[in-house]
Homo-oligomer: A and B are copies of this chain.
Amino acid sequence: MKPSELPAVIAIHTLQCLRQQAPLVHCLTNEVVQTITANTLLALGAAPAMIVEPEEAAQFSAIADALLINIGTLCHQRATAMLEAIAAARVAETPWVLDPVGVGALHYRSNFARLLLTMNPAAVRGNASEILALAGITSAGRGVDSFDDPLQALPAAQELAKQYDAVVVVTGALDVITDGFRTWQIEDGHPLMTRVTGIGCALSAVAAACCALPGERLDHVAGACRLIARAGRLTAAWATGPGSFSTGMLDELYRLCGENLQ
């Protein structure tokens, strides 16, 4: 099953829905990327909120339109908040997305991520090493970088997607997005995106926002990947380094439209 390139019209539709619906995304994410995550959601018309005390996290997940769980700086206290938030989200039918940062090399988070997989995530977004690790396949990573090719992780992604009824996204030099039956591919983006911390994490938050939109979940999550990748490519055309790239990409996300997504 060879992946097909995502048509621009799908990403354009996702963008329109995001701006119209302005989903409120509850982000339980890592310490390093909170600002870029919030600002990426805001640039696309969505609304972020970070509510971390377990009692409040549960209350808020039921109010929010979507929930993001990112385990980059997982600690016991935050793990408790995540479990409470996911439990409340499931009762309220709030979709939630898992970003399994660093899964594979590190035991505590690997066990935690495998537990979370059984809790019905709407989508999972990782690099090839992380998705391979989630599927039980040892990879070349040291917990943060991926030395694996997204296409190499595609069979594992498709199996995970079927097993857990989730959209699975593998990002890297190209992105693949699958529900286990259909698979989209996106060749866009730019290597400068790896020289700024948090762009992958921010994408996971946008994917969560997109899971709250009416319509086909697979298409909207693929649309999210395309929006980020396209903004990255547009920014790289004029940025003079990773600093101007990181703020410039927020400008390009804000200015995305039917024309520059084509």
Please give the distance in Å from A141's CB to the nearest CB on chain B: 10
Complex Cα–Cα for A102 and B240 (A):
35
Given contact pairs A32-B34, A32-B38, A34-B31, A63 touches B246 in the complex (Cβ within 8 A) = no
Q: Does A241 lie within 8 Å of B246, measured CB to CB?
A: no
Number of interface residues of A (CB under 8 A): 62
Judged by a CB distance under 8 angstroms, whether A72 is at the interface is: yes
Contacts of A77 on B, CB cut-off 8 Å?
Answer: 75, 77
* A212-262, CB < 8 A from B: 239-244, 246-255
CB < 8 Å: which of B24, B109, B195, B247 contacts A246? B247
Tell which of B34, B60, B74, B239 touches A143, judged by Cβ atoms closer than 8 Å: B60
Residues on B with C-beta less than 8 A from A92 are none
- Give the residue among A36, A242, A252 with the most B Cβ atoms within 10 A: A242
CA distance A206 to B254 in the complex (A): 28
In the complex with contacts A63-B143, A142-B63, A244-B248, A32-B30 CB distance below 8 A: no
Selected contact of A50 from candidates B30, B51, B64, CB within 8 Å = B30
Residue of B nearest to A197 (CB): B38
Distance from A245 Cβ to chain B, minimum over Cβ atoms (Å): 8
Contact partner of A24 (CB less than 8 A), chosen from B52, B53, B63, B142, is B142
A118 at the interface (CB under 8 A from B): no
Query: Are B31 and A50 in contact (CB-based, < 8 A)?
Result: yes
Residues B53 and A242 in contact, CB atoms below 8 Å apart: no
Q: Which of A1-9, A41-49, A165-173, A182-190 contacts B (4 or more CB under 8 A)?
A: A41-49
Query: Max chain B CB contacts within 10 Å: which of A48, A51, A75, A102?
Result: A51
- In A1-43, the 8 Å CB interface with B consists of 24, 30-36, 38-39, 42-43
Cβ 8 A contact of A63, one of B52, B75, B105, B242? B105
Other than the given A52-B73, A243-B247, A244-B251, 19 more pairs (CB < 8 A) read A32-B34, A32-B38, A32-B48, A35-B36, A35-B198, A38-B197, A38-B198, A39-B196, A42-B196, A42-B242, A43-B195, A50-B73, A52-B74, A56-B106, A59-B106, A241-B250, A242-B251, A243-B251, A247-B247
Subset of 26 A-B contacts with CB under 8 Å? A32-B35, A35-B35, A35-B36, A39-B196, A43-B242, A48-B144, A52-B73, A53-B74, A53-B75, A53-B76, A53-B108, A53-B109, A60-B143, A63-B105, A63-B142, A63-B143, A75-B77, A195-B254, A239-B251, A241-B252, A241-B254, A241-B255, A243-B251, A244-B251, A246-B250, A247-B247
